[in-house]
């Protein structure tokens, strides 16, 4: 009798533990879903076409919004190889108009059309570049009447906060990347806007260099406390990048826009880094994901 009673109590306690475990799992699931955020490197290569790396591109995913940053040559194949659904992309942000950053757009729109996309696509573009992108789409025979979704343009200007979604915004600041071209064309006829970005999500400030050309570009957002830095390494000296990392002191630095020589430069300079710095400076690869842990909601 006593053993039966003991067994009943033990079974009841196990049931309670099971229920608590299930409720805890649900809590964790909804907490993760609500605070889910990541950055996936779609491409980490330089402007030189490579069999190893796709052209530079990022996919920022925050809750229910996916923002593709740049869509250069071959971006559709890059997304396909990483199993990213074309129609999951809600918006595309263009940094500048070098071919390895924007010429894959028409093909990507075609892929969206062929995959029966219906939801609108938003393109974030500097006000001086919108007409070029619109004309590029038009001259690729992608007429609005032939698409089952709208392409909407969100123009932005320098130093103004742009809201992408409830959980993601950015500020763009002009850098020096295109300065060398200023003598070749009329600034009144052609925009030379090429920015670096400060993204903010979940209270985190993320610096993204875009393509740059001088060490001063690394400090465009030095007034902000940077949690993460993502920087290209093709157009800047590695020693200058490391110096900026030490001064700005983010938690981590991720390197992208990588050529073969750049990999060797990183390997060489890594020998002079401390163990702590080696753990905080990472050479990204295609498909690499940064998980952005948002602060848990205390109400859950």
pLDDT tens per residue, range 146-179: 999 999 999 999 999 999 999 999 999 999 999 9
The CATH number given to whatever domain includes residue 271 is 3.60.15.10
d(CA 259, CA 62): 29
pLDDT at 298: 42
d(CA 165, CA 204): 15
Residue 19 domain-assigned?
A: no
Express each pLDDT in 191-201 by its tens digit: 999 999 999 99
Number of domains observed in the structure of the chain: 1
Which residues span the domain enclosing 198? 38-291
Mean pLDDT of 199-217: 97
pLDDT at 185: 87
Q: Strand pairing of 289-291 and 281-283? A: unpaired
Residue 20 domain-assigned?
A: no
Q: Where are the alpha helices (DSSP H) in the chain?
A: 2-35, 75-81, 99-102, 105-114, 130-138, 238-248, 260-270, 275-280
Express each pLDDT in 283-296 by its tens digit: 999 999 999 975 54
Name the residue among 300, 297, 270 with its Cα closest to residue 283: 270
d(CA 170, CA 201): 9
Dihedral class, residue 159 (left if φ above 0, else alpha if ψ from -120 to 50, else beta): left
Name the residue among 174, 248, 258, 247 with its Cα closest to residue 214: 174
Residue 18 domain-assigned?
A: no
First-last CA distance in the chain: 43
Residue 32 domain-assigned?
A: no
Residue 58 domain-assigned?
A: yes
Residue 170 domain-assigned?
A: yes
Residue 277 domain-assigned?
A: yes
Name the residue among 121, 56, 112, 50 with its Cα closest to residue 80: 112
d(CA 195, CA 232): 13
Q: Which residue has the higher pLDDT, 113 or 21?
A: 113
Mean of the per-residue pLDDT values for the chain? 89
Mean pLDDT of 125-132: 96
pLDDT greater than 50 at residue 208 = yes
pLDDT greater than 70 at residue 10 = no
In DSSP terms, 197 is beta-bridged to 172, 208
d(CA 151, CA 3): 71
Cβ(229)–Cβ(253) under 8 Å? yes
Residue 151 domain-assigned?
A: yes
Name the residue among 82, 88, 48, 96 with its Cα closest to residue 68: 88
């Amino acid at each position: 009798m006593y053993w039966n009673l003991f067994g009943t109590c033990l079974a009841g306690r196990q049931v309670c533990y099971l229920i608590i475990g299930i409720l805890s799992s649900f809590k964790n699931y909804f907490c993760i879903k609500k605070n889910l955020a990541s950055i996936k490197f779609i491409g980490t290569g330089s402007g030189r076409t490579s069999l190893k790396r796709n052209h530079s591109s990022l996919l920022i995913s925050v809750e229910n919004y996916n923002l593709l940053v740049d869509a250069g040559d071959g971006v559709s194949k890059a997304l396909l190889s990483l199993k990213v659904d074309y129609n999951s992309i809600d918006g595309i942000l263009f940094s500048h108009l070098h071919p390895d950053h924007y010429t894959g757009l028409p093909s990507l729109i075609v892929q969206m059309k062929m995959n029966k996309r219906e939801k609108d696509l938003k393109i974030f573009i500097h006000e001086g570049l919108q007409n070029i992108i619109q004309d590029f789409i038009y001259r690729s025979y992608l007429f609005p009447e032939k698409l089952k979704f709208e392409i909407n343009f969100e123009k932005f200007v320098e130093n103004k906060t742009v809201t992408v979604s409830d959980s993601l915004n950015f500020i763009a600041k002009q850098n020096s990347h295109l300065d060398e071209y200023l003598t070749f064309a009329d600034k009144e006829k052609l925009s030379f806007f090429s920015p670096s970005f400060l993204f903010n999500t979940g209270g985190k400030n993320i610096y993204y260099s875009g393509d740059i050309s001088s060490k001063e570009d690394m400090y465009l957002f030095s007034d902000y406390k940077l949690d993460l830095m993502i920087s290209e390494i093709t157009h800047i000296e590695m020693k200058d990048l490391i110096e900026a990392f030490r001064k700005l002191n983010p938690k981590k630095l991720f390197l992208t826009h990588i050529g073969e020589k750049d990999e060797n430069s990183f390997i060489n300079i890594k020998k002079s880094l401390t163990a702590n710095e080696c753990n905080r400076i990472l050479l990204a690869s295609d498909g690499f994901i940064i998980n952005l842990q948002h602060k848990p909601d205390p109400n859950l």
